[in-house]
Structure 1
Amino acid sequence: MKLTRRILAGVAIGGYVALTAGAAWAKTELTFWSWRQEDKAFYQDIIKKFEAKEPEILVKFETYAPENYQTILSTALAAGRGPDVIQVRAYGNLETIATPGYLLALDQQNAPELANFPAPALAAETLRADGKVYAVPFAMQAQLVVYNKKIFKDAGLNPPKTWDELVTVAQALKAKNIAPFANGTATAWQNETIIGGLLSSMLGKQFEEDIVSGKANFTDPRFVNALAKLKDISQYFSPNFTGVDYPSSQQFFVAGRAAMFAGGSYEVANFKSQNPALDLGVFPAPVLKAGDQALIATYYDGGYAVNAKSDKKDAALKFVRFLATPEYGTAFTNTLKNLSPIKGIKVEDAITQDVAKLADNSMSYLMLVRFRYQEPSGSVLLQANVQKMLAGQQTPEQAAAEINKGIATYYKPFQK
């Protein structure tokens, strides 16, 4: 609601009105939607800092369940409603709401802070059809392995560097009645994060280049063999892992009942908030053989956008520009343990510093970055078929063939 200046009270004296309570000045109230329910306390604190700088603007923060967010948001925007400021996802999911014109295009004139970001971060928030940026990027995420340092130390183990070392570590932990991995596969999307965390080094940058250029497809032996390795290591996942969903796998790790969690760097802050006593570390996906390059899988998680139909665009832009400053990026990184892509931030947290170093050697979180623009989404294909493979319903070859078949329906390099 936007309030106009008004006379609160007055007393008529000789034909004039004497003010008794003064005037109330306008305040603009912005609505800000997000799927990051676990980050609510952080955003509420950030909003207080922004409101202190901009006392004429109020920001109301609202969150929705991650699995329902995109549908709720798209429905509201299609009806000409929705929030003034939107936390949007990147790549293909951005395009679904930018293409219909729901978002305000950003440029160096209305958002000069875009200069604070590297080109790949801006590309993740760019609509390919017009080349315009529609959101200020908020995080670079990494898929890797989070591990419990105390469990490793007590067991006399070091983080594995090769796949054979990973198997040896898993066997040693199991022999001590310690679950090697907390991961389950009942939540379909978790299967994609597991692949990013465990198989990136084995697949490698050259595989990604060959896939993008069309020199290879997903029936390539490199991909099939990597899936076979994943199938083998899954025996060390959470007990009855095919029935364990994402929240349950998180709680299993937080409780200190498992040594490793294959997933995202974004897990660290959540784990630590639930159990501050956890001593955690991270390591990249193990290489197939010593001497190979260890990699993590990275992507840009999303951004902050302005609703094109908001009648408070000026205020919304002020808030979005604030979310693009090094001041904000530093707070974001050090509080949430997620790497902000904003240039000039100071990373204080030791684990986040480790993630930043690992990010120097990375490949794309492949399906999200490359194949989530059309249907059937590469991510959905990967998640569903790997889930079946790990449940014993498909072989690695069958899973790879189904993934390739779906992507080939629209990806011309695979249609040769």
Structure 2
Amino acid sequence: MTKLMLRATFGLTALAVAAPAFAQDISFWSWRQEDRAVYEDIIAAFEEQHPDINVNFEAFEAQNYNTILSTALAGDSGPDVMMVRAHGAFETVAAGGYLMPLTEETVPGLDTLPDAALAAETLSSDGQIYAVPFASQTMLVIYNKDIFDQLGLEEPSTWEDLMAVSQAIEDAGMFPFANGTATAWQNETIVSALGSSIIGKDFYNDLVAGETDFTDPRFVEALVAVQEASQYFPDGFVGLDYASSQQLFTSGMAGMFAGGSFEIANFMGQNPDLNLGVFPAPVAEEGDEHLVGLFFDGGYAGNADTEHPEAVQTFLSFLTTPEFGNMFANELGNISPIPGVEFERPLLQEVAQLNENSIPYIMLVHFRYEEPSGSVLLQAEVQRMLAGETTPEAAAQAVTEGIATYYEPFQD
């Protein structure tokens, strides 16, 4: 008999008596304080199926989470289950030996997840998976449909189309883009959101094969395009930070925002009346392939020293199910990598379809494992480029030289 059935039949007093005496308590840490209510619903659904396991959720401030988690794990006081970052940021925790290795046998359902998602939570030194991936993020352009409809505009396909749409919005007295560049990480996002189709799969494949570097004309062309688009950013955009850029868009003063799919939930939270659309990075020439940038945004890991390994593995297995994926996607507004998820929001379904034609978010996926990271280099150089302090060619050269200090294919 489930907890809800007991509650309905015998009342809360009987429920306390009927709860299994051997129930195991496991702790679950997150950096998503704003998602507490949803995670409590998720945990309730899990406990409904597993009345012998109690999951205690605790969330911390995101900026300090990594330090709090690492300190707790090193001091043997860490949680049983924890949210961890992906790719290079994930390696810091995984390489310390603090995480439980996961297999299809210990966590049923793990094998149903996409290889690229699992790779984001795989330790490079041993090839072992240590976390269940929870979301993908897509770099694209989000736009205000009401502004487009008001001006009779259609989603741009080519770069020429994008420039024409931008000019039309500016002529109407609004900002074409809300983006600013004062917050460094936004510069990397802007390059992927606007430049992925110009960068192209061929360049990406050649890059990871060690056959070219970032001075390649295909990558430089993408930087040139971003520089061209910046003429349609707000006045004083070099001093405009991330929060102010968001507010500019959600206030209806700008037509477009070059960013990640994670912005959709943020924007709707700030202004539920927004009528949003999305489109991939425009192509240089009609007929080229439209692409988005894609990365996986973290995972759920188990503590290698937990006193309740079977309970932890049971909970992690639940986090691979379509039941969880549907709750995660539709209540948190994110794209779950779990097969079979049904998106209630058409916009999320559209993003999921765009993901079928993508290239990885290059610096995060491949060049954020050593210092100086590709992300830090690109963010700084694009920031300087859009401020008029360097050129696309010089920016690409600086990024390549920085990565070449540790990456052998760039040293030839």
Judge same fold: TM > 0.5, yes or no: yes
Give the paired residue count: 396
1:287-314 alpha-carbon deviations (Å, 9 max, x no partner): 0111111100111111100011222333
Q: Give 2:97's match in structure 1, choosing from 73, 97, 101.
A: 101
Partner residue, 2:206: 210
Deviation at 1:27, TM superposition (A): 4.2
Output the CA distance in 1 between the equivalents of 2:170 and 2:387: 21
Deviation at 1:41, TM superposition (A): 2.5
Using the TM superposition, name which of 56-65 and 133-142 deviates more: 56-65
Summarize the Cα distance change of 1:68–1:389 in structure 2 as closer, same or farther, 3 Å threshold: farther
Deviation at 1:24, TM superposition (A): 8.7
- Match status 1:339 vs 2:332: no
Unpaired runs of 5+ residues, structure 1, are: 1-20
Contact kept in structure 2, 1:116 and 1:325, CA below 8 Å: no
Summarize the Cα distance change of 1:80–1:239 in structure 2 as closer, same or farther, 3 Å threshold: farther
1:296-334 alpha-carbon deviations (Å, 9 max, x no partner): 011111110001122233322222211111110112122
Question: Which structure has the bigger radius of gyration?
Answer: 1
**Alignment partner of 1:347: what SS?**
coil
Unpaired runs of 5+ residues, structure 2, are: 1-16
Deviation at 1:142, TM superposition (A): 0.8
Contact kept in structure 1, 2:19 and 2:51, CA below 8 Å: no
Contact kept in structure 1, 2:102 and 2:130, CA below 8 Å: yes
Partner residue, 2:159: 163
Using the TM superposition, name which of 333-342 and 57-66 deviates more: 57-66
Output the CA distance in 2 between the equivalents of 1:152 and 1:116: 39
Output the CA distance in 2 between the equivalents of 1:368 and 1:310: 30
**Alignment partner of 1:144: what SS?**
strand
**Alignment partner of 2:109: what SS?**
helix
Task: Please give the TM-score of this superposition, normalised by the length of structure 1.
Answer: 0.91
Summarize the Cα distance change of 1:96–1:23 in structure 2 as closer, same or farther, 3 Å threshold: closer
Partner residue, 1:322: 318
Partner residue, 1:41: 37
Contact kept in structure 1, 2:27 and 2:81, CA below 8 Å: yes
1:55-74 → structure 2 map (5 Å cutoff):
55-74=51-70
Partner residue, 2:5: none
Summarize the Cα distance change of 1:103–1:23 in structure 2 as closer, same or farther, 3 Å threshold: closer
Contact kept in structure 1, 2:159 and 2:284, CA below 8 Å: yes
Read off the aligned partner of 1:34 and give its amino acid letter: S
Output the CA distance in 1 between the equivalents of 2:108 and 2:118: 13
1:177-213 alpha-carbon deviations (Å, 9 max, x no partner): 1111111111111111111111000100011111112
Contact kept in structure 1, 2:20 and 2:52, CA below 8 Å: no
Contact kept in structure 2, 1:122 and 1:136, CA below 8 Å: yes
Q: Give 1:220's match in structure 2, choosing from 180, 197, 216.
A: 216
- Match status 1:266 vs 2:257: no
- Which protein has the bigger helix share? 2
- Match status 1:403 vs 2:393: no
1:340-366 alpha-carbon deviations (Å, 9 max, x no partner): 111222223211111121111111111
Contact kept in structure 2, 1:38 and 1:270, CA below 8 Å: no
RMSD: 1.8
Partner residue, 2:382: 386
1:192-203 → structure 2 map (5 Å cutoff):
192-203=188-199
1:361-390 alpha-carbon deviations (Å, 9 max, x no partner): 111111111111111111111112111221
Deviation at 1:117, TM superposition (A): 0.8
Output the CA distance in 2 between the equivalents of 1:230 and 1:359: 21
Partner residue, 2:187: 191
Contact kept in structure 2, 1:148 and 1:260, CA below 8 Å: yes
Deviation at 1:223, TM superposition (A): 1.6
Partner residue, 2:357: 361
Deviation at 1:59, TM superposition (A): 2.5
Contact kept in structure 2, 1:376 and 1:407, CA below 8 Å: yes
Read off the aligned partner of 1:96 and give its amino acid letter: T
Summarize the Cα distance change of 1:53–1:256 in structure 2 as closer, same or farther, 3 Å threshold: same
Task: Please give the TM-score of this superposition, normalised by the length of structure 2.
Answer: 0.92
**Alignment partner of 1:289: what SS?**
coil
Summarize the Cα distance change of 1:49–1:117 in structure 2 as closer, same or farther, 3 Å threshold: same
**Alignment partner of 1:351: what SS?**
helix
1:77-130 alpha-carbon deviations (Å, 9 max, x no partner): 222222221111111111111111010000122101112212222111111221
Partner residue, 2:8: none
Q: Give 1:32's match in structure 2, choosing from 28, 34, 38.
A: 28
**Alignment partner of 1:410: what SS?**
coil
Summarize the Cα distance change of 1:88–1:23 in structure 2 as closer, same or farther, 3 Å threshold: closer
Output the CA distance in 2 between the equivalents of 1:275 and 1:266: 15
Percent identity, aligned pairs only? Answer: 56
Q: Give 2:144's match in structure 1, choosing from 135, 141, 148.
A: 148
Q: Give 2:176's match in structure 1, choosing from 135, 158, 180.
A: 180
Contact kept in structure 2, 1:238 and 1:249, CA below 8 Å: no
Output the CA distance in 2 between the equivalents of 1:407 and 1:22: 60
Contact kept in structure 2, 1:330 and 1:346, CA below 8 Å: yes
